[in-house]
């Protein structure tokens, strides 16, 4: 079995759990005898290719013009840039004509670049939609170039769904899309990005199978996107134990350390972590709280900490990657994931792999598979504070949770998860 896989990032250059999951998946697939061609927008050349062949989309000139109709895409995602939306003396009709003129110009500019290489950033910047469109065009080209080298297409998260669709159109090979998160996880139900939702829905509809990282996400896919339940399969995430070294770190303080590690965004529940921290600090002062990460709510979180009067016990590290993440876990006594909505959440598995007891939100996919993590409703900051305090104050409880948690996540291997994925591939290839 051979798979053409579209991703957005791959270690060592990752911004979150998506790249980590992709790495675990390709290694697990290799263990199960599946060869992977892994396409990414911008490869640096230092990616681990022991389990997959990396294809750098930035190195591939677009050789086709029909992989995805440009007008159709632009109509869907609507990335039209007007110098200012404050255009005086224009009635609605004139303004509409101005927008359409600008749109036609951009379409023309878009077409001119066919046959050329696109230099992708591979980031999540202001031109993200444009990169998604161009990635689809390159994806169709790559699929044609390697048509005889794969049996199935696998596209990870909404950024790559159009690339997967283009590859399917060009080759006729079956498409599996992998839902790591949805628009309903990134925002509230009444405040979703409709452009992203449209791409997600179209990808799910075009796919022969949809893999979700949890039953929680599967239910969202079925109820919010209207996808046939018979083609939606849950394959829970896992954790990679290979290459795990016991990291020795020296603390600069004697206090216990409680850690939040992730994007500082509404989805991850940073404000609930701060509220719980304040409650714990009212009961003991022998503890420090760390918020490791970055995001659009960081400044708000800093102000919140200041208002609560706990700045001397609360630390912000900024974004961490690679070995620094493992060092942070090694420094931690308790890990907390208070997510408002978490399709899965690999970070508590990584913490428990490092013998760190974890408190996680019941509103997470990880809660479906972790028996020895402490579970709490994200909004119940009193219960969250109680669980943190108990793990700090009762060494026997913390030791038990650490040991049992380690044994539990040690059984959640990518080799097992990808064996299920291989069966999904076989079901669409052999139908």
Fold of the CATH domain 256-410: Rossmann fold (3.40.50)
HEC states along the chain? CEEEEECCCECCECCCHHHHHHHHHHHHHHHCCCEEEEEECCCCCCCCCCCCEEEEHHHCCCCCCCCCCHHHHHHHHCCCCCCCCCCCCCCHHHHHHHHHHHHHHHHHHHHHCCCCCCCCCCCCCCCHHHHHHHHHHHHHHHHHHCHHHCCEEEEECHHHHHHHHHHHHHHCCCEEEEECCCHHHHCCCCCCCHHHHHHHHHHHHHCCEEEECCHHHHHHHHHHHCCCHHHEEECCCCCCCCCCCCCCCCCCCCCEEEEEECCCCHHHCHHHHHHHHHHHHCCCCCEEEEEECCCCCHHHHHHHHHHHCCHHHEEEEECCCCHHHHHHHHHCCEEEECCCCECCCCHHHHHHHCCCCEEEECCEHHHHCCCCCEEECCCCHHHHHHHHHHHHHCHHHHHHHHHHHHHHHHCCCHHHHHHHHHHHHHHHHCC
**Cβ atoms 51, 36 nearer than 8 A:** yes
Q: Where are the domains of the chain?
A: 2-238+417-429, 256-410
Strand order in the sheet with 152-156: 53-56, 35-40, 2-6, 152-156, 175-179, 209-212, 232-234
Q: What is the CA radius of gyration of the chain?
A: 23
- What is the band of 342 on the pLDDT scale with cuts at 50, 70, 90? confident
Question: What does the pLDDT look like over 33-50, one tens digit per residue?
Answer: 999 999 999 988 888 888
Question: What does the pLDDT look like over 369-426, one tens digit per residue?
Answer: 899 999 999 999 999 999 999 999 999 999 999 999 999 988 888 999 999 999 999 9
80: pLDDT strictly greater than 70? no
Q: What is the average per-residue pLDDT within 62-75?
A: 53
Q: What is the average per-residue pLDDT within 120-138?
A: 81
- What is the band of 71 on the pLDDT scale with cuts at 50, 70, 90? very low
**Cβ atoms 59, 67 nearer than 8 A:** no
Q: What is the average per-residue pLDDT within 344-360?
A: 90
In whole angstroms, give the CA distance from residue 327 to residue 399.
19
Residue of 148, 139, 179, 182 whose CA lies nearest to 40: 139
Question: What does the pLDDT look like over 199-214, one tens digit per residue?
Answer: 999 999 999 999 999 9
Whether the predicted model's global pTM rises above the 0.95 cut: no
> What confidence score (pLDDT) does residue 320 get?
87
Give the chain's end-to-end CA distance (angstroms, integer): 15
CATH architecture of 2-238+417-429: 3-Layer(aba) Sandwich (3.40)
Average pLDDT across the chain, whole number: 86
Token readout for 196 is 């992203």
> What confidence score (pLDDT) does residue 402 get?
94
């Amino acid at each position: 079995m051979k798979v053409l896989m579209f991703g957005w990032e791959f270690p060592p250059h990752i911004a979150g759990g998506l790249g980590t999951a992709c790495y675990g998946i390709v290694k697990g697939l290799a263990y199960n005898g599946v060869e992977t061609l892994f396409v990414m927008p911008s490869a640096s050349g230092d990616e681990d290719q022991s389990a997959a062949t990396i294809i750098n989309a930035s190195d591939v000139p677009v050789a086709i013009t029909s992989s995805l109709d440009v007008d159709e895409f632009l109509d869907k995602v609507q990335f039209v840039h007007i110098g200012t939306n404050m255009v005086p003396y224009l009635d609605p009709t004139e303004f509409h004509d101005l927008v359409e003129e600008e749109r036609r110009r951009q379409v023309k500019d878009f077409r001119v670049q066919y046959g050329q290489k696109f230099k992708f950033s591979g980031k999540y910047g202001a031109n993200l939609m444009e990169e998604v469109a161009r990635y689809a065009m390159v994806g169709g080209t790559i699929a044609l170039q390697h048509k005889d080298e794969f049996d199935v297409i696998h596209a990870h998260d909404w950024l790559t769904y159009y690339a997967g669709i283009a590859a399917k159109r060009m080759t006729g090979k079956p498409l599996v899309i992998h839902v790591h998160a949805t628009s309903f996880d990134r925002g509230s139900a009444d405040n979703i990005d409709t452009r992203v939702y449209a791409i997600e829905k179209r990808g799910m509809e075009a796919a022969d199978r949809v893999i979700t990282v949890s039953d929680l996400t599967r239910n969202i896919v079925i109820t919010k996107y209207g996808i046939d339940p018979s083609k939606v399969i849950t394959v829970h995430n896992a954790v990679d134990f290979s290459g795990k070294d016991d990291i020795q770190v020296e603390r600069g303080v004697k206090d216990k350390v409680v850690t939040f590690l992730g994007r500082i965004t509404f989805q991850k529940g940073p404000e609930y972590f701060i509220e719980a921290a304040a409650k714990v600090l009212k009961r003991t002062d022998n503890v420090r709280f760390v918020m490791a990460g970055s995001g659009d709510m960081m400044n708000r979180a800093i102000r919140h900490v200041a208002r609560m009067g706990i700045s001397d016990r609360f630390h912000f590290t900024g974004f961490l990657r690679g070995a620094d993440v493992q060092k942070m876990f090694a420094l931690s006594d308790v890990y907390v994931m208070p997510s408002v909505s978490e399709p899965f959440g690999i970070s508590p598995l990584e913490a428990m792999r490092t013998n760190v007891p974890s408190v996680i939100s019941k509103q997470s996919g990880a809660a479906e598979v972790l028996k020895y993590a402490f579970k709490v409703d994200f909004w119940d900051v009193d219960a969250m504070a109680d669980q943190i305090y108990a793990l700090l104050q009762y060494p026997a409880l913390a030791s038990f949770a650490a040991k049992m948690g380690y044994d539990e996540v040690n059984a959640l291997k990518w080799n097992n998860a990808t064996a299920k994925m291989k069966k999904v591939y076989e079901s669409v290839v052999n139908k």
